[in-house]
Structure 1
Amino acid sequence: MHTWPVQDAKARFSEFLETCLQDGPQMVSKRGREAAVLVPIEMWRQLQSSAKPSLKSLLLTGEARGELILPQRGQARRREVMPLEGE
């Protein structure tokens, strides 16, 4: 993966985009540190479709809670409590 300094990516954006489309993802660095990646749209869609849902989205869906089976009230068995020795 080729790394482009942000000033080069901005100045030569058409070339940057063409390289991405022909050769795959292109890294952008800012002040010498990796900052972002430009990926072709097909790859982006593939990544999005294979991503797992977040915990937040799972908790907010009705399906996540629908599978939880709860016993009806009053039907749960209670343990017998044994007295402690010495009492």
Structure 2
Amino acid sequence: MQTWQIQQAKTHFSEVIDRAITQGAQLITRRGNEVAVILSLKDYEQISGKSNYLLDTLLNAPKGDDLVVERSKESIRDLAL
């Protein structure tokens, strides 16, 4: 995680955002104290559990055993109508 002084982050805001997207979280400091983190939207949604993408949710779901579906070989029963 790269660290930016707040004034430096303000001056290079677009670069901070680009790096958050491509390299991950960016740490912001004020007077030597860590005060904020800039995240990409994707990283934020992942840690907050607010992913709006069904495909992402399905692809990241826990993997279980393979589903084996077997069809019954019995004949169809007669129904009285």
TM (normalized to structure 1)? 0.55
Amino acid in the other structure paired with 2:12:
R
Q: Tell me the residue number matched to 1:14.
A: 14
Matched residues in 1 for 2:38 and 2:26: separation? 5
- The root-mean-square deviation of aligned C-alpha atoms, in Å, is 1.2
The answer on 1:33 being equivalent to 2:40 is no
Q: Tell me the residue number matched to 2:44.
A: 44
Matched residues in 2 for 1:19 and 1:49: separation? 22
Amino acid in the other structure paired with 1:40:
S
Of Structure 1 and Structure 2, the greater helix share is in 1
TM (normalized to structure 2)? 0.58
Amino acid in the other structure paired with 2:21:
L
Larger radius of gyration, structure 1 or 2? 1
Which runs of at least 4 in structure 1 moved beyond 2 Å after TM superposition?
none
Structure 1 residue 10: Cα displacement: 0.3
Q: Which runs of 5+ in 1 are unaligned?
A: 51-87
Give the number of equivalent residue pairs.
50
Matched residues in 2 for 1:45 and 1:22: separation? 16
